[in-house]
Structures are given as structure tokens and as C-alpha cells.
Structure 1
Amino acid sequence: MDLLADSREVIRNDGVLLLQQLTKSNAAIQKIVAFENAFERLLDIITEEGNSDGGIVVEDCLLLLQNLLKNNNSNQNFFKEGSYIQRMKPWFEVGDDNCGWSAQKVTNLHLMLQLVRVLVSPTNPPGATSSCQKAMFHCGLLQQLCTILMATGVPTINTVSEVIRGCQTNQDYFASVNAPSNPPRPAIVVLLMSMVNERQPFVLRCAVLYCFQCFLYKNQKGQGEIVSTLLPSTIDATGNSVSAGQLLCGGLFSTDSLSNWCAAVALAHALQENATLKEQLLRVQLATSIGNPPVSLLQQCTNILSQGSKVQTRVGLLMLLCTWLSNCSIAVTHFLHNPANVPFLTGQIAENLGEEEQLVQGLCALLLGISIYYNDNSLENYRKEKLKQLIEKRIGRENFIEKLGFISKHELYSRAAQKPQPSFSSPDHMMFDHEFTKLVKELEGVISKAIYKSSEEDKKEEEVKKTLEQHDNIVTHYKKVIREQDQELEELKQRVNTLTSQNEQLRATVTQQVSQIQQHKDQYNLLKVQLGKDSQHHNSHGDTFQMNGIQTEVSKLKEELEEWKKKHELLQGQLKEKDSVIEKLVSTVSAELDPAANSWFQFFLCFPKELEMLRSQIQLQSAEISKLQMENQKLQVIVRVNKLFLLSMGTKSSRVAFLQLSNEVKALSEEKESLKQHLDSSSSTVAILQDEKSKLQREVAESKKEQDDLLVLLADQDQKISALKIKLKDLGVPVEDEDDTESGDQGDEDEDGDEEDQD
């Protein structure tokens, strides 16, 4: 793995060749190489070498990728989850002109197509194939393949076939693809033209048949579109365009046996597991020749069958009839209604023909067995019991079972049962279809049992079958009801979402309109109040009156503002006086505190009252300013309304005068704002004073506490002195009071001197 990242191309290329040999038929090594980032490195090498334009190195890398992915589900899942499918899209950007392609480019492109088929092979697990198909659609790989579908031929057709097989999304996209023709036609129609054209190569016709089968596989919508092109009500009356149904009918009744077989198998796939379309196809009428009445498609098939055409043609028609009649009692009734059909079948089965005819005999026995097993006994002459008696008399039960077994024992049957893609070495070997082999395997056993059952067992089985059919019908009915209810529910959900969004939009519109109406009402009321009863007659005198009113209000506002200025100046003077008082108070606080400063303490206690008075005055001033501000706002509203009125109704001179007054009002508003800022500064000064007051209060409280402590200490000292005096007296020492001590200090000193001498 390290060799893949080597900078030397020779070493890298030899590493690719070595890994090719190591990964052949070895799942363990394949997983190791894949999880060692081989996909990333190999895709990088392919891109570096030029994708499909690269040389032999690209081919070697593609072969190694095939070894890693083929029949290895874990590596395929890792490749898909690693988003490597998206990196395959540039491989097929090659254009439509393939004339100048080299042999190496063709080889590279074919290997790239094979790599795509490895990821979507029908032999892979259904879930893995489906996820890869969806990834190819979403990344645009399918679209890219459809653009080169006509230019690159068989390999691309087979690749597209398996990319769309069983995937409804991819099948719907393929149905919408148009071929690059003039006039543009659906790609399906153009491909069917090649299939029923005997001049086209055999491999191309087989590839187109496989593509058509994959398009119809588990695609009831596509089946209905094909069958609808055959119904009388939908056939193009002008005949300008050729439909798929017309091409299939033309191939079914042409002189080319291979076209007969391909058209019969393609039409059988349009009816596969779809009882409704089987009943609708009974309505198809064909014009055989001029002057003769039209015959049904079913009758025409049996007519050609009885004419003894080639074996390949008869095998194709018998497979179509068996598919058509199986699980469709109405189609069986129509088939038995033709009196020539049952004798023809019994005659074919009873004869001892050659080895080539044994396959036709087996298919005739299968068709007759289907006519018995799915018979609803609506025709008296061809009831189940009578058909069994006819087989017993004309053929014999053992002989009938033996002829029925010729089908599954045939070599071509076993080869067709292996894989869905038709692969035949020559047109002569083109006998069985893969889906038809599943039908034979399903019906061979039940038909053999039905031949040996008695009438009573048939009745019991018929009752059980009716019960099951009733049950199936009930289930189908309820499924249909549930499906319809789901569709209705989905439609109602969409309608609810739409109505909800519309309701929200309408609510928003109504809210907006209500607000606009309210604004208009407010403007109308203001105009009505301002203009008075004479607002209906708008003239020059009314404009003059309106201007006079505005001037009066402006002058009033000026007077009020002048009064406010005076009050503010008075307030500033009071604040200055208080500032001087505070300064004196601070100087007093800085002086030494003593217990005798009671007068200062009383003054300090009176200071908060003065501060509160000052605050109340400021609050009154603030209330007056707020009142003036509200009046100013009202006046501004009146001015705006009058401005709207004057601008809409007044003259040019009145508008100029009004604008001048508006400028004056604006100047007054600015002056008011400056006064408000002064008031805010005054409020901040008051806050500072309050902080200083609280500081002084704290200092006074602290000094008072210290004085109280000193008083307590003095009281304790007095008590100690008194106790000592009492002890001295008890000892006989004469103790004098403080007053005596002060008056006779000299006498005491003499006595003390005598005592010292005595000592």
C-alpha cells in the first residue's frame, strides 16, 4: 500500500499490478487494502492521469478497483459512505462525438461503466444497490450517463439499465430523458425503435430489451404509461408521433421472429404483477385489414399462434399469454370464449412432435393449466371440471404433467434463470426471459396439483380462494382508502400551512392598518382641537389666526422660562450660603474636641434640619421644571401638527414665519436642557453635602464614645481612691479630704518633716 504513494511512477505502477494479483478472489486482502485508503489513492491516480483519456495506468487502477468492489459488500458500502461515487462523475464528461476516440480510451470507458455496474448489480443486496442508485442520482452521475447514452452504445445502455432498475426516482428521471433527435423524442421510444428493427445489431437489441425491462421493473407508473399508449382513448389521432405501444405492437406482428420475441417479452413486462393493466389491455382493438372488423389484441395473438409460425415467435407469444392470463380470471374468460383456443392447445400437447417442438408443447400445457387454475367457472362449457376431463381423455394426466415439465428441464431455461440480463450467444438461443422463469417456478407445482384434484376439493379450494380474494379485496380497499386519506391529509396540511401563513400576513397587515388609523385619528383630533369649529374654511385669515395663537403660546413659554431662570439663580444663591456654612462646620470639626463643646454639638444636630429644608426646596424646583417640560412637550406636539397643517394648506409667507417660530422653540428647548443640566449639578452638590454630613456624624459619635470611656475610667479611679482612703483610716493614718488638702498644704509639709526626723 505504501508503494501507491511512491513519487516514482514506475514503482507506483508496479505496486498497482502487484495489488491486482493479491486481491484476486481474496476477500480478506480486499478489505485490508480498502481500509488502507486504497480508494482515495487510486481515484487520485486516475484523476492525475486524465480520467478516461489516460493510458494503461488508468486501466490498471480500474481493474484493481473492480477486484476490491466486485462481490464484496463491505467494500461497496465503504466506497459509498466515503463519497467516492461522486468522484466518478467526471469520468463520463466525454462529449457525444466518439469518432476520434483511441482504443485505450474506449477500454478505459468500458471499465468505468463496468465499475458502475458492480455497485448497482442485481446480485448485490437490495438495500446496498438501492442506496448506490440514489447516490448516483443525487450526485448527477445518472444524468451524465444519459447524456452519452446514444453516443457510447451498448455498454452505457446496460449500465443505465441497472442504475434505474427498481429505483422509482431514477426510473421517473429516465422517462423524462429525450434523445438528441429532430424532432425530440423520448429516449425510450428511440431505443424501442432500435429493438424492433431487424437491421440493428443483435447485442444492441438485447441491451435495449434489458433497459426496457429494468425501466418497468417494480414500476407500476411506467407500466401504466406504456399500456396507456395502446388504449383507444389515448392514441394520437393525428398519427404524427410514434408511441411505445405502437412500436411494441408493430414488433409483435412483424415478419422478424426476433422482433416478435422481444416485443412479446417487453409487453409481458408491462403487465408483470399488475392485474389492473391486464384487464385494461383486453380493450385494445387492432385493425387487421381493410374491410374486416377489428379484433382484440388477445385474439390476434392466438390467431398468429395457430398459424404455425417460427418457434421463437410462438414461444414469445405463449410467454406473453401466460403472463397475461396468470392471476387474472377475466383474461382467462376472454381467452376461453374463443372456441378455437382450447382445441388448439390440446392438439399441440397431445401430438408427439420433434425435440424442437417440445418447448412449445410445454408452454401450451402451462397456458392450459393457467386456464384451469385461474378459471372462475363463468363459462359453462369450459368449467374447471370439464377441462380436466378433456385433459384426461385427450392427453392423459401423466402425459400432461410430463409435457409441462419440458419447460424447466430445458437448457435455455436454466441459463435464463441465472441473471436478469438477457445474454445469448446467438438469436436462435433467445427463448426464455428471466422474469418468466420465476412465473414457471411458481405455477408448475400448483397446476400439477390442480390437475389431480377432485371436484369436491376444487369446490373447497374455490371457497378458500374466494375467501382469500374477499380478504384481499377488503385489504386492497382499505389500502386504497388509507392512501386517499393520506393524500387528503397531506393536501390539508399544505392548505393549513398556506392559510396559516396568509393569516399571519393578514394579521400583520391589519395591525399595521390599525396603527395607521389610530395615528390618523390622533392627528385629526389634534387638528380639530387646534383649529376649532372653523377648520372647514382654510384661508389666509385662518392662517393668520393660527400664527397668532402660536406666537402667544411661544411668548408665554418665554415668560415661564424667565421665571424659572430667576428661581434657579435664587437657588444657586442659597446653595452658596449653605456652602459657607459647611466650610465653617468643617473648620469647627477640625478643632480639638472637648466635653465642654456642647454648643457646637447642638448646632451640628440642627444642621440636618437645614439640609432637609434645602433638599425640599430643590425637589420643589425639580417638580416645577418637570411641569414646564411637560408643557413644552405639549407645545411641541401642537407646533408639529400646526406645521403639518400649514405646510399642506398655508401660503409661502406663513410657512416661513412658522419655520422661524419653530427655530425659536428649538432654541428655548436647548436653553431648557442647559438649565436641567444645572439642576443636575445642584443635585450632585446636595449629595456631596449629605456625604460630608454623614462623615461628621460618624466623627461626633466616635468622640462621644471616647468621652464616655474617659468618664468610666475616672469613675473607676475615684472608687479606687475612696477604697484606699478607707483602708488608711482603718490603719490609723489620718486622711484629709481634697478641700482640706488644698487649704493646708504648708502645714502638712512641716508635719511630714518632723516625722522624718523622728524616724
Structure 2
Amino acid sequence: MFSNIASAPAKQSVGDTITVLSGRLSSATLLEDRRAAILGLRSFAKDYPASVASGALRSLIGSLSNDGEDVDTVKVVLETLLMLFSPNQDSPEASEEIALWLADEFTQRQENITLLLNFLETTDFYSRLYSLQLLGAILSARTERTEECVSLAPLGIPRLVAVLDERREAVRNEALTFLTYLTPSSPLIQQSVAYQNAFERVFAIIAAEGSLSEGDRIVEDCLILLANLLRLNPSNQSLFRESGCVPQLASLLESTYHTGKEDGEVAEWAQEQRNRNIYALLSVALITCAETIRGNAKLQESFAQLQVPSVFDTSPPPTNGQTGKAKGVSVVYVIDGLLDLSLSLPAIQAFDLRVAACQCIKAYFFNHPDVRMHFLRRAIEGHASGVDETANVLTTLLRPIDTTVSVDPYRHWFAASIMFHLIFENAEGKSLAMSVTEGDAESGEEVVTCIQTVAAHLVTAIARGDDDRVSVGYLMLLIGWLFEDLDGVNDFLGEGSNIQALAQEIVRHPSNSVLVQGLCAMILGVIYEFSTKDSPIPRATLHSVLMSRVGREKYIDALNRLRSHPLMRNFEVTPQKADGSGNLPDVYFDASFVDFFKDNYSRIARAIDRDPGMEVSVVTNGVQKGISRELVDSLRSQVEEKEQSLQAALAEVALLNGKLGQEQADHSRSREASASELARIKNVNEAIQRHHEDEIRKIESQQQSNDSAHLRQLQEVQKQAAAAAEAIHSEHRAKETELQRQLEYLRKTSEAETARVQRRSDAEMADLRATISRLEVDLMKANKAKTQELHAVREELGSKLEAEESKTRSAEEQAIELEKQLSKRDEEILQTQTGLKEKEEQKSATQTELDDLLMVYGDLEEKVEKYKKRLTDLGENVSDDEEDDDEDDDEDGDEDDEDDDEDDAVD
């Protein structure tokens, strides 16, 4: 085809090709040229994502903006971007960081996300589908930032929700999936979606897909979206009830129930999907129910009286001992039914349903002490009765762990979570639960307390290597139970081997689980924090065991690693539900426990540094417990000393009382004598007073005469002082006149001396001027002689200079002639080089165009083959004549290309 080419073109590397295509995409002015460059980049996107992204990512995004009206260009650009997010696994450039980099490029500029959302307004199938898929990939890589950009985009949420009305299922399903992943954790986005008639649209999709009984995975996704919108969002829950959606839930369940009875045998996969849909719907219903009764005392009290059909065909008797039949169906009280769902439904597909049932139980006794204590008492009574109650949280926790724990570890986890909420910050509940014991003392069996039984099961689960969820559930329960409960701590310390087992788990290397190690460290910190000198293991001994068996660094490190673990650190933003993979979900912690851990982490971390002699004071039911034992001993010794002093003081008081009686009698006699003496002294005092007044009058008259004499003396002294002052003033004026005369004399003397000095200076200056004149005459004579000598030397040098200048001029003329010849040669060389460079550029341009033609021709051949194959698949016959015509056309095109190349070569 290219027979006129003498040799094959140089093979271009992938990096160079991507660079050329990226440059063409950014600089081309024609839409067809840009689209061809994008097609070329798309062919490399799967295998070389890093190279394509680094060279052309911004140009691709810019093409979406500049060429957004051309659907073909938008399609190939979106396809290329999607390929960059999901490259081939065996690609040498495949890396998880590429997706993060691409997501950052979109989310760091709000207009990029807005641009993708704008494509949802178009009617083109691929533009809408691919933009949703691209938004989903960005959301998966940068969740929080994408949520922020979508919520800030103008009409972003309304556009997304409006796609749920799309008749094309692929686009609608993609929008449903994206909204499901967008709404788990952001209340603002949940409200924005709900207020765009999302509930009505979701129910319409469920009805269109065949409801629960016939619907596929799309129905399950719809129910998951409903659960996301309702979970922990009171505003959406109110809107859900007010919009009449609760009856729709009931009708869905009713229709599914009747359909299940009427249908015969159903395929296993269809039955499994039907069950998944029902579980998802029940999750939505239970979440709605839980949020409705939470904190509402009247609803909580009446809720337990409701009866519902049993989850199982042969359900165990309820804890209240009542059961019944309703239209031939076994019914149980709703709390028993919820416990059955939480504890006795091991299917992984039903995990979200079990979580919702557990939340509903917690909402039943939330913030209602009476209901909480009633629930706990009924659980204790049911356990004590010995009846086989599978759905009893206390029985589940106190029975030995069986082999089914590997299949359903969440049975014990849910039981521990419910028990945690029953006794957490509930001193009465803790005391009641501590009264539960295992073993009959009358039969010679060892009596073991509830706390010790749970601790023994915990140690067994850790030693056997059972699923971490079981150990985490027991540890959460014990930590919440023992916190600020001195009696509970003493009960736990009654079995000292548990301390050794927990300490051994912390220092085990390699560690089985960071979560279990961290929680073991925390429970040991809680036990030490609230232990006392009188505990079964004294506080000082417990501190020495912790420091020797664990050590401060290991203790702090275990707590730090637990706090920084993603399941603890990112709990609030991690969906606590099944992921659909068929594996056990990564749900380990209860939300209340996570808040408790984060609030008390610092206190427990510092507990190991607290002095063993200093106990923690705890107020339980208004009674303060725990104080420094050293202070108690000191106070006791002080009390004994005070008691002895008091006895001595009482004896002394008795002695003093006798003395006091004697003194009082003496005092009465003395008082009578004193009264008579006082009367006598009063008479004497009055006589003295009268005499004293007479003396005062005499003294006053003498004082007046003395004052008049002193006044006369003062006036005389003032006259004498005035005469003396006048004499002093006259003397001062005489001295001042004498000083003025002396000053005038000194001034005249100074002026005469100044004139004499001036005359002497003038004479000296005249002598200096004469000397200077004489020296100037001598200098002129010397300059004249020197000038004549220099003139002679100058004439001699001038003659020599003229001779040298003539020689220099002749040499310069020769140099100019040579430079002209050299310049002429340089011009000839430059012309030759310019010609060679132009030839090289023409050759390079020809080679580049040839390579581009090869690539375009290769793409065209691939398209022709695909079209032929598609025609063949569709039943169309492709004759050999058509293929020959195609080949003739190709040959004619090739000949035209060769003629053009020859013309270019001739030019």
C-alpha cells in the first residue's frame, strides 16, 4: 500500500504517541481532529492510565466543556475517563493512587462536578449513563469532598433525583446506585433528596419492578436508599409518615405474604432475592418504628403490648409466658419477635434486618428507667426459670459459647450490645444484674457471679481464637459495666486469673487483633482506675501486675492503636451495614460505646500513672465511694487522739465546775461589798467634780488675760521685723550699683585687648602674603624651563607616532579585505545549512503525517471488521463482491495517497 516508501518509519514509543495525541487534543482547532486524538487516547487508557492522565486529563475535562454539545465527542471522553478509573489489573501503571488523583482533579474544582451534573439534563443515553458512572467512581475515591461538591452544585440534587423517572432502566438504576452511596452519612443530603419526592419515586420503581416478590436487586437497592434516608433523620421520618408512605410499606408486606402463599415452587435464586427484599423492607419499617418510639414514654409503654406473627414456625415461648394464635398463625409479643430477629436469624443477608431490630429494642427502653428495669427483670426471670429461651440476651451471654459461633458471631454481639444499653450508667441495673449467679451452693456447686461468667466466656473466646466480634461484644459489655462501679470491679477481681489472661493478650506477639488488644488494655485500665485497697486483688498489687506483665508503653500503645484503627476512628462515616459481598460485615462496635470510648480515652490512658495509694471517688445513688486510704488512716488516728483529749477535757470540766460554784459564792459576796464601796466612791466623785469645775473657771480667766498680753507682744515684733526688712533692701540696692560699675570697667578693658590682638594679626598676615608672592615667582620660572624640555620630547615622539600610524593603516586595509572574503564564505555556508534544515523538516512532517495516517487507517480497518461482524451477527450477508469493492476502494485511496506523496516529493 505504501510501496513508494523506501524504508519503514521509525517505531514511535507509547509515551511519545500519548504526548503527540495530548498535544493535538489541546491545540487542534477542528472538532474532527480533537475527536480523533481522544479516540487515540482512549485506546491507551486501559493499559497506560498514568501516562494518559498526566498528559491529557485537563484537556479531556476541557473537551467536555468546550465540545459538550457534540454527543459523540462527549461519549468518547466519558468512556476514556471511566477507563482511567478502572485500568487493566495487569497494566504496569495500575495503581489505587491514580483514582485518588483523578478524583482530586474533579473535586478540587466545583465547576468540574457541576459539568458532569449538567449532562443529566441531556437526553442522550450515553451522556447520562457515563456521567453517573463517573460521579460514582469519584464518590468512591473521595467521598466527603464529592458529597460537598454535589450539595453545593446548582440543582445538583434535584437533577440526580429526577433521573429516577428515567424510562431507560440502565440510567435509572445507575442513578439509584449513586444516590444509595451518596446518602448514608450526610443528613443535609438526605433531607435534600427526600424533599425532591424521592419516597414517591422509589415506591414507583418498586411497583414497576414487580414489588418484593418478583423484584430483583433493584428493589433491594430501593429499600436500602429508603433506609439511608430515614436512619437518624427525624425530619425525613416525619416527612415519610406525613406523605402516607407507612401504609405503602404495609401493603408491600401484605402483597408479598399473599403472593408467597399462592406461588408454588420458586427457583432458589428467586427465593433468595425475595428474602433479601423482604429483609430490606423490614429494616426500613423497623428503623421508622424505632425512631418513632425513641424517647416517647407513652409509645414505649404501649409498644410492648403489640402482638405480631412469629418469625419462626415454632417459636419459643415468650418471656411473659403468653402466646397465642391469630388466624392459624403463631403470634408473639413484639419485643419477643424483635429478639428472635436479632438473636436467632443467622443469615448474612438478614444482617441489616437484625441491626434494625436491635435498634428498635434499644429505642423501646431508651431514656425510660422503668421500661429498662422491666426488660432487665424479665430477662433475669426468664433465665432463672431454666426454660430454653433462645432469644434471651442474658441466657445467650451466660451460656457457654458453642461451635455455631463461627457461623453466627453476631448472636453474642447483639446480646452484648443490648445488655450494654440496659446497664450503662444505670447503677440500679448493674446491681440487679450482679445478683444473677450460676451454680447451686446447696448441691455443692461453685457459685459464679454474672460478671465472672461473662469474663470466663471472654477469656475462652480469646484463647480459642473465636471471631473477634464475640470478644469485642463481651469487652464492650464489661467495660460499660465496670466503669465507675466499685462493687462490679471487686466482683471481677474475685477471679484473679482473668487479669493474667487479659494482660497476656495485650503483650501477645504477633497480635491476633488490634481491636481485642486495645479493649483488653482499656478494661484493665478501668479495673485499676476503680479498684480499692480492700479489693480481692489490692490496688497496689494490681498496679504492680500491670507494670510487670504489661508495662506502661505496651498499655499506652494498645490504646493508641485501638483509637487510630479505621473501624474506631472512622466509625461515624462508615456505614454499619452489610456490604453485599456475602462475607460478614465489618461491624464491631456499638455507637454508644464508641462515644464512651472517645470521651474517656484520656482518663483511662492516664489511669496507669495514678498512684496506687490514691483511690478514685465515685458517687453512686447519692453515696460517695472511694477515697485515699492514707487519708482514712490519718483521719482515724486523729479521731482517736481527739477522743482521748475529749475525755481528759470532760474530767477537767467537772473539776472546774466545782471550782466555779465556789467562785460564784465568793463572787456574790464580793459583789455586795463592791456595791457599798461603789456608792461611797460615787459621792466622793461628785464632790471632786464640783471642785474641778471651779478650778476650770479660774484657769479660763487666766488664759484670757495671757492671750491679750501675747497679742500686744506680737504686734510689736511685727513692727520691728518691718524696719529690719527695709534696711536689708537698701543694702541690697547699694551692692547692686557697685557690681554694675565693676562690670562696665571689665567690658572696656576687654575691648582694648581685642583691638591690640587684631592689629598684631594683620601684621603677621601681611608678612605671609609677601612670602607667598616670592614663592610664586620661583615656581613660574621652574615651570617655564620644564615646559621647554617637554616640548622637545613631544616633537620627537610625534614623528615616531606618524610613522607607526602609516604602518597600522596599511595593515587595517589588508584585514578589511580578508574580513570581506570571510563574510562571503559564511553566507554561502549559512545558505547551505538552511537548505538542509528545510529538507529535514519536510522529511519529519512527512513522517508524522504518515504515522497518523497509519493509525487512522488501522482504526478504520478495525471499525470495518466490527461492522462486518455486527452485520453477520444480525443475519446480514456480506458478499465477496462487497469485500472486493471495499478493497478496490482502499487500493484507489492508497494510489491517490501515493500520487499525493510523489507530488509533495517533487515540490
TM bin (shorter chain): 0.3 to 0.5
Larger radius of gyration: 1
Scaled by the length of structure 1, the TM-score of the pair is 0.47
